[in-house]
Structure 1
Amino acid sequence: MAHPSAVSSTGRTLEINRVLRNTYLLLSMTLLFSAVMAGVSMAIGISPMMGLGLSIGSLVLLFVTLKKAEGASGIFWIFAFTGMQGMSLGWILNHYAGMSNGPGLIMQALGLTSAIFIGLSLYVITTKKDFSFMRGFLFAGLLVVIGAALINIFVGSPVAFIAINAAIAMLMTGLILFDTSRIVNGGETNYIRATVSLYLNFINLFMSLLHLLGMGGDD
C-alpha cells in the first residue's frame, strides 16, 4: 500500500501540472485574442484619448476578473479584460507602424518578448526553483517605476523615458520568474489568476521593449 505522504505528493504534482497546463493554454488564447483586438483597433485608427479610455476600462475589468476568478464567469471576464487591453494598444502600435521600419520593429519586439518569456518559463518549470525571495524587491521596484512614470508625464524627459522602460523590462523578467515559480511550487492554484499575472508580464515586457527599440525614431 502506498504511503499517505507519497499519495499526497503525487496528488499535489498532478494539481500543479493541471494548473500549469490550463494557464498556458488560456494564456496563448488570451494573447491571440488581444492581438486580434489590437489589429481591429489599428484598422479603426483609434485616437490616443480613446486608447486612454480603453486602458482605464481594462483596469476596471482587471479587478472584476480577479474577483470572479474562482467562478464560472471568470473565463468570460478574462477575455473581456484582455480584449479591451489589446484594443487600448492600437494607437501606440499605429505610431510605431508608421515609422520607416515600423512593422519590423513591432515583430522584433514581439519575437524578443516571446523568446525571453519562453526561456524564463522553461527554466523555472525545469528547475522548479523558488523565486519567492524576489517579492519585496519586485514590489518596491514597481512602486518606484510607477512613481517615476507619473512624474515623467509632466516632465517629458526622453532620457527618463528610456530609463523607465529599461527598468520595466527588467522588472517584468523578474516577475515572469516569480509568477511562474509560484505556479510550479503550488503558491498559485487558480489558473485564471495565474494567466492574468503572466499576461500582464508579457504585455508590459513587449511594450517596454518596443519603446526601447523604437527610441531612435519619433518621440
Structure 2
Amino acid sequence: MNNHPISNTPSHVNESVLATNKVIRNTYALLSMTLMFSGASAAFSMAMNLPHPGIIITLVGYFGLLFATMKLRNSAWGIVCIFALTGFMGLTLGPILTAYLSLPNGGLIVSQAMVATAVIFLSLSAYAITSKKDFSFMGGFLMVGIIVAFLAGLGAIFFAIPALSLGVSAMFVLLMSGLILYETSNIIHGGETNYIMATTSLFVAIFNLFTSLLHILGFLNGED
C-alpha cells in the first residue's frame, strides 16, 4: 500500500504558481536595486549641486526612457533601460531634495515623506499579497485618473496655480497607492509576467508617491 500523499493539483497549475513566484522575486529584487541606484543618482546630483533640468527635458527624458524600457522589456537591454530611467529620475529628484533640505524644517519634511512612502508601499503590497484580492478592476480608473492628474499638473506648472498643484499632489497620492495595489495584484494573478515592466510600474508609483507627499508635507509645514 502506498502511504505517500497523492497531489491532485494539475501540473500546469503548479507551473503557473512557480512562474508567478519567480516574477515576484525578480520584481522585488530589481526594484530594490533600482531604488538604491536612483538614490545614489539623487545623492550625486545633490553633491554636485546640479540644477533641475526643467519640465521639458524631464518629460522628454522620462517618456523616452520609459518607451525604450517597454520596447526592450524582453531583452537584456531592458535591464539597461530601466536603470537608465530610474537613474535619470534620481538625477531630477536631487535638486528637489536640495531645495527642501535648505529649508528650516527641510530635513524633517524629507524624512517624513520617506517614512510615509515606505509605510504606504509596504502596507499595500503586504495587503495585496496576503489577501490575494484581484484589483484588476481598478485598471481603467487608474489610467484615466493618472492622465487627468498629469494634465492638471502641467496646467498648475505653466499657469503657476499653487492650489491646483497641491490638489494634484493629493490626487497622485491616492492614484499611486491604487497603482501599487493594482500592479501587485496583477503580478500575483498572472496578469503581469514581465518583471522589468512590473518593476517599472512600482518604481514610478513609489517615486510619484514620495514627491507628492513631499509637496503636501512641505505645504503643511508652511515651507512650500
TM range (shorter): over 0.9
Give the whole-Å Cα distance in 1 for the aligned partners of 2:175 and 2:37. Answer: 25
Q: What amino acid sits opposite 1:110 in the alignment?
A: M
Give the whole-Å Cα distance in 1 for the aligned partners of 2:160 and 2:61. Answer: 25
Q: What amino acid sits opposite 2:196 in the alignment?
A: I
User: Which of 135, 155, 161 is equivalent to 1:157?
Assistant: 161
Deviates more, 1:71-80 or 1:206-215: 71-80
Relative distance call for 1:54 and 1:168 in structure 2 (3 A) is closer
In the alignment, is the contact (CA less than 8 A) between 1:113 and 1:202 conserved in 2? yes
Matched with 1:43 is: 47
* Displacement after TM superposition at 1:17 (Å): 0.4
Instruction: Determine whether 1:60 maps to 2:57.
Output: no
Give the whole-Å Cα distance in 1 for the aligned partners of 2:56 and 2:103. Answer: 22
User: Which of 173, 177, 184 is equivalent to 2:177?
Assistant: 173
Matched with 1:138 is: 142
Q: Deviation per CA, 1:185-206, whole angstroms, max 9, x where unpaired?
A: 0000010010000000000000
In the alignment, is the contact (CA less than 8 A) between 2:113 and 2:217 conserved in 1? yes
What is the SS of the residue equivalent to 2:73? Answer: coil
* Displacement after TM superposition at 1:8 (Å): 1.1
Matched with 2:94 is: 90
* Displacement after TM superposition at 1:84 (Å): 1.1
Give the whole-Å Cα distance in 2 for the aligned partners of 1:173 and 1:58. Answer: 21
Give the whole-Å Cα distance in 2 for the aligned partners of 1:108 and 1:193. Answer: 28
* Displacement after TM superposition at 1:98 (Å): 0.6
* Structure 1 or 2: more helix by fraction: 1
Instruction: Determine whether 1:29 maps to 2:27.
Output: no
Aligned residues: 218
Give the whole-Å Cα distance in 2 for the aligned partners of 1:75 and 1:137. Answer: 29
* Displacement after TM superposition at 1:218 (Å): 4.0
Give % identity. Answer: 46
Q: What amino acid sits opposite 2:180 in the alignment?
A: I
Q: TM-score, normalised by structure 1?
A: 0.94
Structure 2, gaps ≥5 residues long: 1-5
Q: Deviation per CA, 1:68-102, whole angstroms, max 9, x where unpaired?
A: 11012221221111111101111111110111121
Matched with 2:76 is: 72
* Displacement after TM superposition at 1:56 (Å): 2.8
Matched with 2:197 is: 193
